Amino acid sequence: MTTEITLENIGAPNVPYFTPIQDPPPGTPLSLIKRKITQSNGEITEFPPLFTPLKIRDTILPNRIVVSPMCTYSAQDGMLTDWHLVHLGQFALRGVGLIIIEATAVTAEGRISPNDSGLWKDEQIAPLKRIVDFVHSQGVKIGIQLAHAGRKASTATPYILSKGLLSPEKYGGWPNDVVGPSPIPWDENHAYPKELTVEQIYEIEEAYVAAAKRAEKAGFDIIELHFAHGYLAHEFFSPISNKRTDQYGGSFENRVRYGLETTKKVREVWSKDKPLFVRISATDWVDNGEGNSWEIKQSVKLSELLKDLGVDLIDVSSGGNTPEQKLHPMTAYQVSFAEEIKKNANINTGAVGLIRDPKLANNIVSSGYADLVFLARSFLLDGSWAIKAAEELGVLIRTPTQYHYAIEKFLIRDA
Ligand SMILES: Cc1cc2nc3c(=O)[nH]c(=O)nc-3n(C[C@H](O)[C@H](O)[C@H](O)COP(=O)(O)O)c2cc1C
């Protein structure tokens, strides 16, 4: 008996145009490229850990490479445009494990700049859904980073004015509506924040809930809460920016209360089968005496509490809360924090920061320092970073079907 081979080019569902279904998804490891690439003890016989799938809840990522969230300051009234479709869509064709959309404000006042992405109203769902649907049509997973900039809101787009300069009303800013845990500006170039009342804190938490529900409607696979880089949650965490004397300030338990309440509420409305990530700054990089700034020890403790609330991964960054920080970025400089959190809080971590070399990225996963590797600038330099990393590590990964049949032969011929 002969099996009939279908010659039909089957289209992906849920998009109003034809694009071939991608099965398996791009980024999936297929085979080892048997060639020059050998280890000291002989030929590679297993997929390098960077190119092994990871299942979190019901979401399967084909490999460990994440396009880190990157603000592009290109939205109009919080809405993403064709520019974002092309910018983010490119990564869906390039073998990454996951794409996370840039910091997306849950309230208009919570934007970093007038051109930030937003999800504070229903009209913002459709432009995001268009991008999600395209990325899904390519078989790729996509997340969104939900954010509130707190006292770092209402700044000028950094490529127009140097980083962090206040955007006054005439340039679309809202300096009088900037809020924070305490009335302490980030520096003299930032707005003077108004201290949030307990009722306003509650309203921001509810804005996160509403944005999470909208993210569900847009079809996202993953939500990442942005609790890092000196934005609102980090401002609450750190004694440098939080001088409150009520239940949201003072002790560690009080300072993390806003972040934990927000997380709990989002987890309650976000699908049980979908992962929730949290990005934190592991340290303020300020040496002003134990307990006077945010430090790795507190980050470990916070990560344990986040885990108990159903957070699946801590994306470990650092800094951003004060101009006093003594931060000297160097290759993989934040990886040890991811390792410490993974080991001590027993939770999945993501490593980020100055990771360019594929072998280094692979070592981070193989050594158990982190489960995912987030890359930002490497992807701005080269959208094909993952495909090239696979080649360098001796793996043939799936690329979009339209490319794959051609690339496969090309790679093997080159071997
Ligand atoms: C253009 C640009 C925009 C960024 N925007 C965000 C953002 O929206 N949210 C965030 O958490 N980090 C943001 N970051 C930080 C990156 O996600 C990443 O943590 C940082 O760049 C270090 O990684 P890298 O060395 O691979 O670039 C941004 C970085 C860049 C370069």
Q: Ligand 1 centre from 103 Cα, in Å?
A: 10
* Number of domains observed in the structure of the chain: 1
Residues sharing a CB contact under 8 Å with residue 39, sequence separation 6 or more, in sequence order: none
Q: What is the mean pLDDT of the chain?
A: 94
Instruction: Note the pLDDT tens digit of each residue in 172-206.
Output: 999 999 999 999 999 999 999 999 999 999 999 99
The answer to whether position 105 is within a domain reads yes
Residue 225, Cβ neighbours under 10 Å: how many? Answer: 26
pLDDT confidence tier of residue 415, bands split at 50, 70 and 90: low
Q: How far is the CA of 229 from the centre of ligand 1 (A)?
A: 10
Provide the pLDDT confidence category of residue 148 given band limits of 50, 70 and 90: very high
What does the pLDDT read at residue 167? 87
Return the bridge partners of 117, or none.
104
Residue 187: give its domain's CATH number.
Answer: 3.20.20.70
Tell whether 60 is covered by a domain.
Answer: yes
Assess if residue 5 is contained within a domain: no
**Structure confidence by residue, pLDDT tens digits, 69-126:** 999 999 999 999 999 999 999 999 999 999 999 999 999 999 999 999 999 999 999 9
Is 9 within a domain? no
For the annotated catalytic residues, the residue numbers are: 231
Instruction: Report the distance separating Cα 166 and Cα 189, nearest Å.
Output: 6
> pLDDT above 90 covers what percent of the chain?
88
Could you read off the pLDDT of 346-374 as tens digits, one per residue?
Answer: 999 999 999 999 999 999 999 999 999 99
Residue 414 has pLDDT above 70, yes or no: no
Measured in Å, residue 102 CA sits from the centre of ligand 1 at 9
Q: What is the pLDDT of residue 43?
A: 65
Within-domain flag for 84:
yes
pLDDT at site 413: 64
Residue 47 maps to a domain: yes
Is the separation of the CB atoms in 189 and 165 below 8 Å?
Answer: yes
Minimum-distance ligand 1 atom for the alpha carbon of 226: 11
Q: Find the range with the poorest average confidence among 29-33, 330-334, 394-398.
A: 29-33
Q: Is 70 in the pocket of ligand 1 (CB under 6 A)?
A: yes
Q: Is the CB of 71 under 6 A from ligand 1?
A: yes
Tell the residue nearest (CA) to atom 13 of ligand 1. 70
pLDDT computed for residue 76 by the predictor: 96
Confidence bin at 412 (pLDDT 50/70/90): confident
24-39 pLDDT, tens digit per residue, is: 999 999 998 865 555 5
Domain range for 182: 29-414
pLDDT of residue 309: 98
Q: What is the pLDDT of residue 80?
A: 98
Question: At 175, which amino acid appears?
Answer: P
User: Which residue's CA is minimally distant from atom 14 of ligand 1?
Assistant: 70
Return the best residue to mutate from 67, 71, 349 for the ligand 1 pocket (most ligand atoms within 8 A of CB): 71
Q: Are strands 54-56 and 59-61 parallel, antiparallel or unpaired?
A: antiparallel
- Around Cβ 34, how many Cβ atoms within 10 Å? 13
Per-residue pLDDT of 202-253, as tens digits, reads: 999 999 999 999 999 999 999 999 999 999 999 999 999 999 999 999 999 9
Domain contains 14: no
Interval between CA 25 and ligand 1 midpoint (Å): 26
Please check the confidence at residue 161 and state whether its pLDDT lies above 80.
no
pLDDT given for residue 410 in this prediction: 83
Q: Which residues contact 195 (CB under 8 A, 6 or more apart)?
A: 179, 180, 181, 182, 183, 244
Buried b (16+ CB within 10 A) or exposed e, 329-348: eeebebbebbbbbbeebebb
Cis omega (within 30 of 0) for bond into 24: yes
Cβ neighbours of residue 285 closer than 8 Å, sequence gap 6 or more: 318, 319, 325, 326, 327
Q: Which of helix, strand or coil describes residue 108?
A: helix
Q: Is residue 296 part of a domain?
A: yes
